[in-house]
Amino acid sequence: MKILFISDHLIGNSGWSRYARDLVLESKKNGANVLCLVNVADPKTDAEQKEVLKKDPSAYVSNPILSFVNAMKINKNIRSFDPDIIHIIVEPYSTMLPFMIKGRAKIVLTVHSTFAYMPILVNGIKKKISEYITKLSLKKVDAIISVSKFTEDHLIKHLNIINAQRFVEDKLYIVSGGVASVTRDWSKAINQPREILFVGAVKPRKGLLEAVEALSKVKSDFVYRIVGKFNESSEYVKLIRKKLAEYNLTNKVFLVGTVSDQKLEDMYKKADLYLMLSTNNGADFEGYGLVYLEANAWGVPVIGPNDSGVSDAVVSGKTGYLVNQHDSVATARVIDEVLENNSIKADDCVEWARQNTSENKAKRVFSIYAKLIGE
């Protein structure tokens, strides 16, 4: 099978690229002939890559001229590579579809979260253009893979508004990303104070203010380590600092910044709980939340929000808990329950991660490819 992947890059440091890299590598293991069209090639990923795309995917949302120009570059590669499958992993690149040749290939599109339905991201004439491009693009797509039921529902809801739901009927599948094979030693000593971890971007959608609010009501002795890039001068970070001082949590909650892979592994091994209370901000929402599975792979229970794609990543009551992130009192009780009563077992967390490896997820995607091309 010959598969042409279209993604921003394969570095693996974002939801898009992590999904792309894992699927590309699993496809190669499965014997597929793979070509990846990217904006930045990653020399560490063992796959053929060509830099043919503009760097920022969001530039494609409502810019048909840009989409047309880059589609011409894509078409050259389609003619020369002659793929069985064209898989667009970064949603904004789907705006090139009206200008792309299809040949004998079947086209697959993965939708993740915010960019699943792009017209909601723009206004005025750009919105009308985006709605038109969306309809033209979906007519060409043979399968749409959503990373969660929440993302799928989000897409269908907005397609109904523009009477375009008919373009996705019988094309929808749900397949999330997965974690690397789970062969880790997750045993750990009981910490005092208990270690709570966050890994991700320090921005409003990740719910860090909501986490601080809940932690101000927690009875257990804890430290909360926030790992991820942040800008000390940003208004959001300033607000977090202000809240920490207000709740007298400056000696319990630490903005660590970025760390090495080895340091991050050490932090996962030591953690007693992973806490990320992602919030929905209009069209911006958590499509799935692979990081919850990554924590589970280390035997770490997780707490996440109950109103996003995280519901597909967490088995509430078994691998962690889903909470109303705006109810700080109830969330604090759940945090105490995990830390004081060890109500979530490490074995259950690891088993869930084993069921959701990137290898298992790729097998599901391969079955969709096979169905499309009649194998």
d(CA 346, CA 319): 8
350 three-class SS: helix
**Position 157, amino acid:** K
Strand ranges (E), the chain: 2-6, 33-38, 49-51, 85-88, 106-111, 143-146, 172-174, 194-199, 222-227, 253-257, 273-275, 302-305, 320-323
275 three-class SS: strand
Quick one: 222 exposed, middle or buried, by C-beta within 10 A (0-12, 13-18, 19+)? buried
Statement: residue 276 has pLDDT above 60: yes
Statement: residue 183 has pLDDT above 80: no
Q: Indicate the pTM of the whole model.
A: 0.92
Question: What mean pLDDT is predicted for residues 106-133?
Answer: 95
Residue ranges of domains in the chain, CATH in brackets: 2-178+357-373 (3.40.50.2000), 194-355 (3.40.50.2000)
Q: What is the mean pLDDT of the chain?
A: 94
Q: Tens of pLDDT along 322-354?
A: 999 999 999 999 999 999 998 999 999 999 999
- The pLDDT of residue 55 is 79
For 224-268, the three-class secondary structure string (H helix, E strand, C coil) is EEEECCCCCCCHHHHHHHHHHHHCCCCCCEEEEECCCHHHHHHHH
Radius of gyration of the chain (CA): 21
Q: Tens of pLDDT along 53-103?
A: 987 899 999 899 999 999 999 999 999 999 999 999 999 999 999 999 999
Lowest mean pLDDT segment, chosen from 69-73, 99-103, 169-173, 282-286: 282-286
Please answer whether residues 50 and 35 qualify as being in contact, where contact means their C-beta atoms are separated by less than 8 angstroms: yes
Contacts of 142 (CB under 8 A, 6+ apart): 106, 107, 108, 171, 372
Structure tokens at 173: 């599948």
Between the alpha carbon of residue 298 and those of residues 192, 273, 347, 364, the distances in Å are 19, 11, 10, 24
Lowest mean pLDDT segment, chosen from 41-50, 182-191, 350-359: 182-191
Please answer whether residues 373 and 106 qualify as being in contact, where contact means their C-beta atoms are separated by less than 8 angstroms: yes
Whether omega before 92 lies within 30 degrees of 0, making that bond cis, reads no
Statement: residue 186 has pLDDT above 80: no
Please answer whether residues 31 and 362 qualify as being in contact, where contact means their C-beta atoms are separated by less than 8 angstroms: no
